[in-house]
Amino acid sequence: MNRVGFIGTPDSDDLSRKLLDLGGCEVSVWNPEEGSGATECAELAAFADIPLIVLTGCIDRCRQVARQLGDVITGRHVVVHTIRGIETSTLNTVSDILHEETPTRRIGFVTGPMQSRDLEEERPASAVCASYFPEVHDLVEEAMMSTRLRVYRSRDLVGAELASAYTRVIALVCGIGAALDMGPSLAATLFTRGLAEAGRFVVAQDGHERTCFGLSGAGNLYVDIFDQGSVDFAIGRHLVETNEVDLDVLVETFGTGARELFDLVTALEEMADKTALELHLLDAVTALVTSGVDTSTVVRELMALPALYE
């Protein structure tokens, strides 16, 4: 693998870009941000000759970017993304969007417990590439795998995308529990029951339950709540410390990821409404972000639920 196309901002701290650099690839960057003025970015037309393209960024602009990309690439291209989100207006995953807007069917999703700090300090890390096509796995491994990164394979694309998205919600709940100083027992309970809930949700969407207990589910969640945690975990803590849900304040404090998280909660709840599942953690977070329910009340209500089966 000599050349890889990367869709994102040139000054991005995106982990996938670091992995490509670590893998020794020649990375051509296309920046979809209008008016960026970046002179080092390649023209999108140059991606026509690049076999592997990595898509990063926010879910809100994904369809527009995919549509532009679809005018350039063909069915022989491989496109993988790293976005842990759901399109709110359609409830589509990113792979759905790429399927609709581009001619290629060789699509993949790269995710897992990767951290920039581990790479910078030369510690080992792991990821998973989910795709239906072996050639997608081959190209991703060739481009990203190194002595410091192990890339595992999964054929459960829909399960990996939904598990990685759902665990962002669980991370927020874990952040609430941590801020309330409710101890390791509650943290373990939220972790395990959250994964079980995510598993039921994924199965209802035609994914595999076991995916939620792999790197895209449990792996992501562990990293999300470990040490200082992810932005989603930090937002949960912030909601307790301020005792208010103000999206504008959250965006100002945590960036656009806060809005993306709230949109994700709404999208997942809408998807869940089409099933007969009882998803208590998701319902609690939905009530929190849409109705401003007190965080302590959310935890008390969760603990008061009947314990039927482990």
Terminal-to-terminal C-alpha distance of the chain = 47
pLDDT bin (cut points 50, 70, 90) of residue 174 is very high
Measured distance CA(205)–CA(15) in Å, rounded: 28
Residue 104 has pLDDT above 50, yes or no: yes
List domains and CATH numbers for the chain: 3-155 (3.40.50.720), 158-303 (1.10.1040.10)
pLDDT bin (cut points 50, 70, 90) of residue 1 is low
Q: Tell me which DSSP letter residue 218 carries.
A: I
- Specify the higher pLDDT residue, 107 or 176: 107
Measured distance CA(265)–CA(260) in Å, rounded: 9
Give pLDDT, residue 10: 67
Q: What is the pLDDT of residues 34-86, one digit of tens each?
A: 544 444 566 888 899 999 999 998 899 999 999 999 999 999 999 999 999 99
3-state secondary structure 253-265: HHCHHHHHHHHHH
Give pLDDT, residue 305: 62
| Residue whose tokens read 């192990």 | 150
Average pLDDT over residues 137-155: 91
- Specify the higher pLDDT residue, 187 or 17: 187
Q: What is the pLDDT of residues 247-288, one digit of tens each?
A: 899 999 999 999 999 999 999 999 999 998 889 899 989 988
- Find the angle CA(86)-CA(103)-CA(158) to the nearest 5 degrees: 35
Give pLDDT, residue 134: 96
Average pLDDT over residues 237-254: 89
Instruction: Count other Cβ atoms within 10 Å, centred on residue 183.
Output: 11
- Specify the higher pLDDT residue, 262 or 18: 262
Residue 171 has pLDDT above 70, yes or no: yes
Give pLDDT, residue 20: 80
